Amino acid sequence: MRQKSVGSKDAADKLVKNIRRKTARRYSAEEKLRIVLAGLRGEESIAALCRCEGIAESLYYKWSKEFLEAGKRQLSGDTARQATAPEVKELRSQASALKECVADLTLENRLLKKSMIGDGEDLA
């Protein structure tokens, strides 16, 4: 009988992990919210809900914890939020315009200083 080498088993394991990683389901915020709210309603057990949705119970509890902490922050008045992509773009363009303005003013300031120093050297 032939024995398989350990290296081919490691390669196969890596291949399987890579396939699982690439085909892992990504849940939207709305889907996560729907699942967490279904669990909070208590109409069915968390285990049954997770089996039905095809997720691990630990993932459900993680989402539930994040959901409840976000609600707690909102109710406590901590309303800081993440900037949206258009806001980030606008802020970056404003920062770029301000940097150009500072560069222009710095250049103008240096030129004025050089002209003042140049005039003073002629007198000495």
pLDDT digits (tens, 9 = 90+) for 59-69: 999 999 999 99
Let me know if 31 is exposed, middle or buried by CB neighbors in 10 A (0-12, 13-18, 19+): middle
- For the chain, the structural domain boundaries read 1-81, 84-124
Q: What pTM did the predictor assign?
A: 0.49
Task: Return the amino acid letter for 111.
Answer: L
Question: Among 4-8, 48-52, 85-89, where is mean pLDDT lowest?
Answer: 4-8
Above 70 in pLDDT, residue 119?
A: no
Q: What pLDDT is stored for residue 79 in this prediction?
A: 65
Q: What is the pLDDT of residue 124?
A: 44
